[in-house]
Structure 1
Amino acid sequence: MANKKASVTLVDVAREAGVSVMTASRALSGEGYASEETRSKVQAAAKQLGYAPNALARMMKGGKTNVIGIVVNDLSSQVVNAFVTALSVEVRKVEMDMFIYSTMGTLGEGRGAAVSQMLHGLWDGLIYVLPCMTDDFLKSLENASSPVLLLNYFRHETPLPVVRGDNYNGAQDAVSHLIELGHRRIAFVGGTAFTGQSDLRERGYLAALADAGIAADPSLIYQGNFQELSGLEAGRHLLALEQPPTAIFAASDTMALGCMNAIRERGLAIPQDISVVGFDDIPAASLAQPPLTTLRHPFQAMAQAAVQELLRRIRSEPGRRQRVEFPSEFVIRESTGPAPRTAAATPRKRAAARKADSA
């Protein structure tokens, strides 16, 4: 006698429940939206028919999974979380499901190729949000046959499709803004060089100084690591200089927030004594005191472009693009202001002067 479960398909369940196959899939998988009423109806139909989904068997047969995989390296990053949230919205719009795989850091030699081989058998296409991708892992992706897209990747040129935000021009705009406010001693706090983003932001910083005829001062360039603690350390170092900066441009909001803490430690006011600019517009930027001037990547537009481009490759459609780059938006808030008239004084003297004025 034939096994009843083996003969029942998702199409049968959808027909029994009176819903579309896509809705039945969402209701049974628990991924994607389905009302409680619909979910109960579909689950009841599946139970009545004896349906047991077997996604692995379907994948082994070469069928479509209707799933897009998202590979990330750091779920604690607010920027990565912003991208994942935006991607989940766009994946749902095209009635597909999304799964997330975290590499938990940089994929080193050997492990990168193994992980790549494993992931390519699970989903119809993959979006990698891996700024710290190693060279061998990138090569394994370039040699893969499955559809792949890199989101916000800058480190190397690659034939793979890339959707990313602009770093160079945004940084140039930020520093030009500070110059227009009268600042001449503008510091730069860089992040780790491995991703390529900090380098582009530093180049934009240097270009803005050159355009204004301001010679770059190596003592005002500090190497951080994108984390808030390195921003705190950078701020302390810069403020201890004999000629401290009147403005700081940090390559990430987290480092900018650390710099702001260092400034407050010195008894200085933002932006009256020192202006601060960040990059990324993480949620904490608008909640800082004062709210942080920063640069924002259009996360939702970038996620939409990434999903649509990946779908074109999954479907082997024409008109595919190798690179899409979105301009960053400069968000001016209260952490930037005119250069202080006492710019030549040390931070300690400026702080003392402010206390005397308020006495």
Structure 2
Amino acid sequence: MTIRDVAAQAGVSVATVSKVLNDRYGVAAATVDRVRGVIEELGYESSLVARSLRNHRTGVIGVLVWDIEPYSAEVLKGAARAVRETPYELVVYAAGGKGDGRMGWEGRYLSRLSGTLVDGAVLVTPTVQTAPGTVPVVAVDPHTGGGSVPTVASDNLHGARLATDHLLGLGHRRIGFLGRPPRDLESGPQRERGYRDALDAAGVPFDPQLVLAGGYGDTDLQNAARTLLTLPDRPTAIFAANDVSAIATVEVARTLGIDVPGALSVVGFDNVPESALCRPPLTTVEQPLQLMGQRAVEMLVALLAEETPEEPHVQLPTRLVVRDSTAPPNPRP
């Protein structure tokens, strides 16, 4: 269906239909009603690209993610909720996890979308400090270091201390840490620092053998968890820096005949819905993922209105959610 079909059905010129679509004056009210009736009857929608060429705006916000997995899915829910209160629509652009988190993916995506398909973008877990492109952007779980891009994150340092203190309080002293892949996000180093700070405050020596980076795929995560759980003096507890890694750890422990939480306690980070559904339900640190997506969109809408966000770098609180995957350590025979 094209604009010419609408014009022919309504008995007007293409220019008149264009004026109606763009709310321009100079068209009689009766003609506007007739054209809008035909548009609705035919189900006509103007192309986003054509709209951007005419108005230099598309009315669309993009959310760019490396993959749609539990973390990004929760952020997207909050972003979608925030868009409902705005004149904008939402488009999600993902690579499906191809390329194992290759640096600079957001630059490639923005170059494809900016100026023709989206007016601005939310970048979820970006790999660079500054975002190339010509449209405003806001980063969720930003790259480490400085940069001029507005950001939304959670209090990762405090959350990691909560997780490690919980395990220490149960009596664990040999606590493994399964970190995030080395993508230079702020959250990764902060969670490891919180883990190490808690050990130091409790007088527990840091053992580098108990710290491993996870991976991007299921196999990488399972291999990292298996390495920790097959050490000669394996940990009695593992703090995984995200729930996906924690759930993989529970699954590997099951295949090795290690009972959770009887012989191994596991704590995750994120509190995605899957954490409450696994067996046993996962103790985890909650970061408000949906609120992070919501706040990012609100900041982006302010930037699109050429307003300065009140807080360019927002940090939201974290809290510990205790479930059934943690318990005091059992004495080993």
Q: TM-score, normalised by structure 1?
A: 0.77
Kept after mapping to 2: 8 A contact 1:71/1:130 = no
State how 1:212-223 maps to structure 2 within 5 Å: 212-223=202-213
Which whole-Å CA distance do the structure 1 matches of 2:214 and 2:151 have between them?
26
Which whole-Å CA distance do the structure 1 matches of 2:327 and 2:70 have between them?
27
1:17–1:297 Cα change, 3 Å = farther
Structure 1 or 2: larger helix share? 1
Report what 1:175 is aligned to: 164
Q: Is 1:189 aligned with 2:178?
A: yes
SS of 1:164's equivalent in the other structure is strand
Identity %: 33
Shift in Å at residue 129 of structure 1?
1.4
Kept after mapping to 2: 8 A contact 1:5/1:52 = no
User: Which segments of 5 or more consecutive residues in structure 2 lack a partner in the other structure?
Assistant: 1-6
SS of 1:241's equivalent in the other structure is coil
State the Cα deviation string for residues 185-207 of structure 1 (Å, max 9, x = none): 11111121114232221111101
Kept after mapping to 1: 8 A contact 2:241/2:269 = yes
Report what 1:331 is aligned to: 321
User: Which segments of 5 or more consecutive residues in structure 1 lack a partner in the other structure?
Assistant: 20-40, 350-359
Task: State which of 53, 67, 70 in structure 2 corresponds to 1:74.
Answer: 67
Report what 1:120 is aligned to: 114
SS of 1:276's equivalent in the other structure is strand
Which whole-Å CA distance do the structure 1 matches of 2:43 and 2:245 have between them?
56
Shift in Å at residue 247 of structure 1?
0.7
Which whole-Å CA distance do the structure 2 matches of 1:165 and 1:257 have between them?
21
Shift in Å at residue 161 of structure 1?
0.5
Report what 1:153 is aligned to: 142
SS of 2:92's equivalent in the other structure is strand
Which whole-Å CA distance do the structure 1 matches of 2:287 and 2:262 have between them?
28
Which whole-Å CA distance do the structure 2 matches of 1:140 and 1:200 have between them?
22
Report what 1:98 is aligned to: 90
Task: State which of 259, 273, 277 in structure 2 corresponds to 1:287.
Answer: 277
State the Cα deviation string for residues 101-130 of structure 1 (Å, max 9, x = none): 224544656x86554333220222211114
Counterpart AA for 1:332: V
SS of 2:183's equivalent in the other structure is helix
Shift in Å at residue 62 of structure 1?
3.9
State how 1:1-359 maps to structure 2 within 5 Å: 4-8=13-17, 9-10=20-21, 11=23, 44-46=37-39, 53-75=46-68, 77-104=69-96, 105=98, 106=101, 113=107, 115-121=109-115, 122-131=117-126, 133=127, 135=128, 138-141=129-132, 144-196=133-185, 197-225=187-215, 227-340=217-330, 342=331, 345=332, 349=333
Counterpart AA for 2:223: E
